[in-house]
A and B are shown apart, each in its own frame.
Chain A
Amino acid sequence: MHISDGVLSFPVIAAGYGVAIGITAFSLKKTKTEDIPKIAVMTSAFFVASLIHVPLGPTSVHLLLNGLVGILLGWAAFPSIFMALLLQALLFQFGGITSLGANACVMGIPALAMAWLFQKRHRFSFSRKDEIFSLIAGGGAVFLGAVMLALVLTLSGSQFITVAKLAIVAHIPIMIIEAFITLFIIKFLNKVRPEIIEGI
């Protein structure tokens, strides 16, 4: 879920940066300065976690975990993802400088949506709601991300419509894997440090 340089059209690049900077500014206002080290260290943890490869049929995919970032960091998830992508672009020279804003939106907006969704679980009273909501948030973040990716590609040029459709289909197995990984991570956190999830 990552668009490289050279693909997006200039208006989409500009709009991507505009939206990303807008949301970042808003969420930084909501973030206390004392919390910055926490967000930063969590950012590096998520960065490293995204290097883990999960076997998928004959190949393997790397984790995205944007649903989990949203659950754990709330509003701060967006700058966290933005900075993780910037760090990736800066450190490894993989590129993606021009498409950075759009990529941050593709990964970050679903994270915020899932953060909102996960907090809504308190309204329900059935048991195992942490598990069910983490399953939905983990898979939902990838699905929304794939839809946003398709949207960004299509806005960039109508020639990309077929590629955009293929991208959504390709993300369906990843969605299932992410849903279950997020579920297992939340279950683990609940076992080891239950106060983390309770407080969200």
Chain B
Amino acid sequence: MHPEVDQYAFLVSPIHKMDPRLKILSLLIVAFSFAWLKTPFFSSIALLFSFSLIIISHLPLGFVIKRLGHIMLFLVPFFFFLPLTVPGETLFSFLRFHVTYQGLQLALLLFLKGIAIVLLIFPMLATQPFHYTIKAIEKLGMPIKLVWMLAFAYRYLFVALGELRNMRLNLRARGFVSKNNFFTLKILGNLVGTILIRSLERTERIQRAMIARGFNGKIEILNSFKAKRVDFFKALVILFIGLFISFGEFFWKR
């Protein structure tokens, strides 16, 4: 529905061809098993696996790297905090700070593990149009009320986004500049208030339109997914390698 969201959903690759249900389920299980990792070494193997899935799915690396900026913003600061705050062997000290080996190792673990998990999201979600994703998670057992909320929120997200853009343009045309003062907070508060009221009014119209069309509280979603044997095979390969990495670490230490 939105060009930017489904930008790379129509490429041709073994991952794109997979049944969305099996794709999402198998990659989700692997993502959660990666959350279990406890050593930087196995986390880097996990990272390698996630990265190879991106290569297989033909997603442009520039797109992936751009999207990684957000998680970097969260994970990179750990390299500054944790070596100073986690107690352990001191690697070196400066001023009154002690940089510990354990802290550095923990920051590295979080970084590698985090990136490994996020990289799995790309082959999982960017390789099919978004409405397929919603349909697939409905088939995987999400309650219909939630699926419906998700689908509606997605539909009206871009409407609200367009409104926000227009209002920002209006503010700029009237010479408004954000500053550190109460006036800015008041104007932004009014802006949010306007978005909320317009959304509420829109809801009332949608509700009336749905009742007029005979809405009875049920949501019908057409199901056209067909899992082929090769899809099961691909899912098994993903699960096998993914779980091999996370369980491998578990037994390695014994």
The bracket for how many chain A residues form the interface is: 35 or more
Task: For the complex formed, measure the closest distance between the CB of B23 and the CB atoms of chain A, giving whole angstroms.
Answer: 14
The bracket for how many chain B residues form the interface is: 35 or more
Q: Which of B187-208 contact A (CB under 8 A)?
A: 188-197, 199-200, 202-203, 206-207
Q: Work out how many contacts link A and B, with CB atoms closer than 8 A.
A: 231
Contact partner, B153, options A44, A68, A162, A182, Cβ 8 Å: A44
Contact partner, B67, options A6, A52, A93, Cβ 8 Å: A93
Contact partner, A188, options B36, B152, B190, Cβ 8 Å: B190
Which residue of chain A is the closest to B215 with respect to CB atoms?
A34
Interface-side segment among B12-20, B89-97, B175-183, B223-231: B175-183
Q: Is chain A's binding surface mostly helix, strand, loop or mixed?
A: helix
Contacts of B45 in A (CB 8 A): none
Tell me, yes or no, whether B110 is within 8 Å of chain A by CB: yes
Which residue of chain B is the closest to A179 with respect to CB atoms?
B185
Q: How far is the CA of A79 from the CA of B145 in the complex (A)?
A: 10
Q: How far is the CA of A187 from the CA of B32 in the complex (A)?
A: 44
Report yes or no: B148 in contact with A40, Cβ–Cβ below 8 A: yes
Q: How far is the CA of A7 from the CA of B111 in the complex (A)?
A: 8
Q: How far is the CA of A154 from the CA of B247 in the complex (A)?
A: 25
Q: Is chain B's binding surface mostly helix, strand, loop or mixed?
A: helix
Tell me, yes or no, whether B53 is within 8 Å of chain A by CB: no
Tell me, yes or no, whether B103 is within 8 Å of chain A by CB: yes
Q: How far is the CA of A192 from the CA of B190 in the complex (A)?
A: 10
Tell me, yes or no, whether B121 is within 8 Å of chain A by CB: yes
Tell me, yes or no, whether B149 is within 8 Å of chain A by CB: yes
Report yes or no: A65 in contact with B192, Cβ–Cβ below 8 A: yes
Report yes or no: A41 in contact with B153, Cβ–Cβ below 8 A: yes
The interface bits of chain B over 99-136 (1 if a CB of A lies within 8 angstroms of the residue's CB, else 0) are 00011001001111111111001100110001001000
Report yes or no: B149 in contact with A40, Cβ–Cβ below 8 A: yes
Q: A55-B178, A83-B149 known; A166 and B71 CB under 8 Å?
A: no
Q: Which of A140-181 contact B (CB under 8 A)?
A: 157, 159, 161-163, 166, 177, 180-181
Contact partner, B185, options A7, A34, A54, A192, Cβ 8 Å: A54
Contacts of A47 in B (CB 8 A): 153, 157, 160
Q: How far is the CA of A187 from the CA of B192 in the complex (A)?
A: 12
Q: How far is the CA of A2 from the CA of B71 in the complex (A)?
A: 10
Report yes or no: A90 in contact with B130, Cβ–Cβ below 8 A: yes
29 A-B pairs (CB sep. < 8 Å): A4-B114, A5-B35, A10-B36, A13-B32, A33-B145, A36-B149, A37-B206, A37-B207, A39-B149, A43-B152, A44-B153, A44-B157, A45-B156, A47-B160, A55-B178, A56-B180, A84-B153, A90-B133, A93-B121, A94-B67, A98-B32, A159-B86, A161-B85, A181-B189, A183-B189, A184-B185, A185-B189, A189-B196, A196-B200
Which A residues contact B (CB, under 8 angstroms)?
Answer: 2-8, 10, 13, 24-25, 28, 31, 33-34, 36-45, 47-49, 51-57, 60, 63, 65, 68, 72, 79-80, 82-84, 86-87, 89-95, 97-98, 157, 159, 161-163, 166, 177, 180-185, 187-189, 192-193, 196
